[in-house]
Structure 1
Amino acid sequence: MRTFQQYLLFTFRSILFWVLAFAFMIIIRYFGIFEEKGVSILPKYELPIQDLLFYVCMSSIPFGIFYAAVEFLFDRYLAKTLSLGVIIFSKTFLYLVTLIFLVSTVVEYTGYMLDVSLAEERGWWRTNKTFWSIMIYFVIASLVFSFIRIANEKFGQGVFIKMLLGKYRKPQEEKRIFMFLDLKSSTTFAENLGHYKYSQLIQDCFYDLNRIVRKYDAEIYQYVGDEAVLSWKYKRGIKRNNAVALYFAFNDRIDQRSEYYQEKYGLIPQFKAGIHGGTLMVTEVGSVKKELAYHGDVINTTARIQSQCNTYNTNVLISESLLNDLQLPEKYITKNINDLLLRGKAQTVNIHSITLA
């Protein structure tokens, strides 16, 4: 259900983007062509700008839907199996064929509305300068859309726009939840598998993780070796118990592919997690490689909570302050672990383990 909602949201954004992109192109063409010397259009063939915008915007809607479907299907089913070059070429080819069809349809329909033949023969687009100018514009617009999408995935939903506006040039206070997710027995696995196959194992695990992060509104802050650091805005992490549900959904995902892991690596990977939330500072760092950095006790405490998983022979540990804000259903069993004086901290932190009933 959540995946379908994500697809609908992405489709809406795709339609909105392409409606605006094609409308902008038409406005430039409509007002610019009359300023060109030597250009003359008979009054009977003129189409009011509002009508022209309507026809083009309506034709861009199916293209926006198709564009969203292609992007979604490629990312979901082919991103791992195909190289980036093949994916880009395949997408571009599909978009080209679709655009030729749409432009041809628009030209024929516009000719019908104006009672004039605008395209006299099939394949007119091969030598038509207007068509290829549209194609160049389309390629640029498509790159812009892809860039915005990649930036949103990199920094988190809505963060990219805030960075463009310079919000994080100075440190900002935010309340967030973090999860440190670490592969258990990683040293043993690395020795037994060798560095190449071990690297493939980590790649497969994090690919499975990426398949579910959007479903639980999570953002991947960074990867550090065999560890992934996930983050939520506090309200999003609390909503539907996302900060806890993601871990068990990730376990289910690995269990579903247990035969694959067993056959390829001779093992089924398990992860341990530490979860904590609170207020910290976020700011933009770097000039050569810009990124957002989180500073504060929340990060350090979460990492140290996760480090206690082996000590207490449990897979998930969560701070009591965060647990009290959640409303976990009965399928989750929590167990209080006595106040711990975590390394580097002056005050104790009460920690609970979480398991499934």
Structure 2
Amino acid sequence: VFLIGFSSILYKLFFEQKEKKLIKKTFSKYINPYIMEELLKNPAGSLSILGGQKKEITVVFADIRGFTTISEYLPAEEIVKLLNECFSVLSNIIFKYNGTIDKYIGDCIMFFWNAPIEQKDHPYLAVSCVIEMFRELEKLNQEYSFSKNFEIKMGAGINTGEAIVGNIGSAHLMEYTAVGDTVNVASRLQELTKEFNIPIIISEYVNEKLNNRIPTVSLGKVLLRGRQQEIEIFGIKA
């Protein structure tokens, strides 16, 4: 009986370690150590979310701008160095606010909150994070002594709503990501920052959750590409 019980414990420990290794392999590039620690408290439960779940998230698309102009005056290696430094600074801020980095798409970063772990007040966390990102970009511009005509800029779109979150891809390449209308809307809002000439645009759903804790201004209702109903959007000056 003792041997059977001991073998059962070893068996359980072995598979728990395998589960923890898989969690680390899957999530290490997306999340900070705190969220990783939370996931490792329940390995089996954490792995179950990889199959996909529908849940409310707050998603951000942040587009870094100005590198095309700067590239005319700096060599390629300097541009790559600057781009990497810029992404490092911004990624650290996202991790500071316990955000999950989804992917880098050229000069754009997609990241979100409330997955893989539950997070209270995630719309407020997202907006606060983005505002700090703008402040750090300003410091970077000053550090490199860029003139106003050649500085690094950013436009960010933020939306809250239901999305499908999980490991998505092929047998050769799987990524933990979020998909759905909520994600598409955030991407469209980021595009609108150029049109409205305002650094941050949020949806009415995000604005409602902020409860007037951060000043916003209504930009009116818009019909976003791919949608049938208008939504009200709000701007935030970083």
TM-score norm. by structure 1 comes to 0.52
1:267 positional shift: 4.5
User: What residue in structure 1 maps to residue 225 of structure 2?
Assistant: 343
Alpha-carbon distance in structure 1 between the residues aligned to 2:187 and 2:123: 24
Shift in CA distance, 229/239, structure 1 to aligned 2, threshold 3 Å = closer
The 8 Å contact of residues 217 and 237 in structure 1, kept in 2 or not, is answered as: no
1:1-357 equivalences under 5 Å are: 151-156=26-31, 157=35, 161=43, 165-169=47-51, 171-233=52-114, 236=119, 238-239=121-122, 241-262=124-145, 267-285=150-168, 286-329=170-213, 332-355=214-237
1:255 positional shift: 2.9
1:261 positional shift: 2.4
User: What residue in structure 1 maps to residue 11 of structure 2?
Assistant: none
SS of the equivalent of 1:346 reads coil
Deviation per residue, 1:48-93 (Å, 9 max, x gap) = xxxxxxxxxxxxxxxxxxxxxxxxxxxxxxxxxxxxxxxxxxxxxx
SS of the equivalent of 2:194 reads coil
The 8 Å contact of residues 217 and 234 in structure 2, kept in 1 or not, is answered as: yes
**Which one-letter code corresponds to 1:154 in the other structure?**
K
SS of the equivalent of 2:159 reads strand
Shift in CA distance, 313/167, structure 1 to aligned 2, threshold 3 Å = closer
SS of the equivalent of 1:271 reads strand
Unaligned 5+ runs, structure 2: 1-5, 7-16
Shift in CA distance, 288/297, structure 1 to aligned 2, threshold 3 Å = same
Higher relative contact order (CA 8 A, sep 6+): 2
**Which one-letter code corresponds to 1:182 in the other structure?**
D
Alpha-carbon distance in structure 2 between the residues aligned to 1:188 and 1:268: 9
Name the one with the larger helix percent.
1
Aligned residues with identical type, % of pairs = 23
Unaligned 5+ runs, structure 1: 1-26, 28-140
**Which one-letter code corresponds to 1:336 in the other structure?**
S
1:166 positional shift: 3.9
Q: How many matched pairs?
A: 210
The 8 Å contact of residues 224 and 230 in structure 2, kept in 1 or not, is answered as: yes
Shift in CA distance, 188/261, structure 1 to aligned 2, threshold 3 Å = same
Deviation per residue, 1:104-139 (Å, 9 max, x gap) = xxxxxxxxxxxxxxxxxxxxxxxxxxxxxxxxxxxx
SS of the equivalent of 2:144 reads helix
**Which one-letter code corresponds to 1:283 in the other structure?**
G
Larger CA Rg, structure 1 vs 2: 1
1:292 positional shift: 1.8
Q: 4+ residue stretches of structure 1 with deviation over 4 A?
A: 144-151
1:201 positional shift: 1.9
User: What residue in structure 1 maps to residue 3 of structure 2?
Assistant: none
Over the residues paired in the alignment, what is the CA RMSD in angstroms? 3.1
The 8 Å contact of residues 56 and 162 in structure 2, kept in 1 or not, is answered as: yes
